[in-house]
Structure 1
Amino acid sequence: MQITRQADYALRAMVYLARLSPNQRASTSQIAEEQHIPPSFLAKIISQLSIAGLIHTSRGARGGVTLARPPEEITVLDVVEAIDGPIALNECTSPSGVCMFGEDCPMKPIWCDTQKELIDRLRRTTFAQALATQTR
């Protein structure tokens, strides 16, 4: 299993923004260059993150991108789901729960437990925590 490249780029952009001081803005060109993200791809990501309420964008000479909330209040799960939608490791773990074997499948509880653990971990991990572990 692998997250999409778009989600990976979104996470990189959010880490970049989380490093800035609270009143500091970054241009999308700065983010793209320093995080090695294709600018056209970043534009789409920025739009999705803005729609999700995770960042604020403003145009003009003093424009740029900032986090909508402090890094302590934005989780990795927030970003992944804003880009990729809800996490589902397997079809049987999705809300529709489609499985040809139904509840008799011995793998379903394993997939469901694993998915729950992953979601819980991503929900508990804020960008402030991610940055704190980097400096250790």
Structure 2
Amino acid sequence: MQITRQADYALRAMLYLSELEPNQRAATSQIAENKNIPPSFLAKIISQLSIAGLIHTSRGARGGVSLARPAAEISVLEVVEAIDGPLSLNECTLNKGACPFGSKCPMRPVWCDAQEELVHRLSQTTFAQVINL
């Protein structure tokens, strides 16, 4: 499994915002330049993160982008899923009926356990933790 480039860019943007002072805003151009994100990609990402309630956006001279909650309350999983949707290592982990072998498939428990561990790890990892590593 590999996250999309768009999710990677979203994580970079959230890291940038997590490093700001509380309630400080950043221009999208600053984020794009600092985190090496193409501005055309960033506009769509900012929109998706805003819809997911992870960031606030405001227009105008004093506008910009800021976190909707403290970095300690936003998980890596939330950002990835806001962009890519639910994580799935294999189709059968989300849809048991997707496997032609059904309940007799010896690999499904392996995939499900691995996915559970990944989801747990990403849900327990906040941006405050990442910037303090």
| TM category, shorter | over 0.9
Identity of aligned residues (%): 74
- Asked whether the equivalents of residues 96 and 102 of structure 2 are also in contact (C-alpha less than 8 Å), the reply is no
Q: Is there any run of 5+ residues in structure 1 with no aligned partner, and where? A: none
Q: Is there any run of 5+ residues in structure 2 with no aligned partner, and where? A: none
- Asked whether the equivalents of residues 7 and 83 of structure 1 are also in contact (C-alpha less than 8 Å), the reply is yes
What residue is the counterpart of 1:17 in the other structure?
17
For normalisation by structure 2, the TM-score amounts to 0.98
What residue is the counterpart of 1:121 in the other structure?
121
Question: 1:97–1:87: structure 2 CA closer, same or farther, 3 Å change rule?
Answer: farther
- Asked whether the equivalents of residues 23 and 67 of structure 2 are also in contact (C-alpha less than 8 Å), the reply is no
Over 3 Å off, 4+ runs: none
For the aligned residue pairs, the C-alpha RMSD in angstroms reads 0.8
Q: Which residue identity is paired with 1:118?
A: L
Matched residue count: 133
Q: Which residue identity is paired with 2:47?
A: S
For normalisation by structure 1, the TM-score amounts to 0.96
- 1:1-136 equivalent positions in 2, closer than 5 A: 1-95=1-95, 97-133=97-133
Q: CA deviation at 1:97?
A: 4.1
Structure 2: how far apart are the matches of 1:64 and 1:78? 21
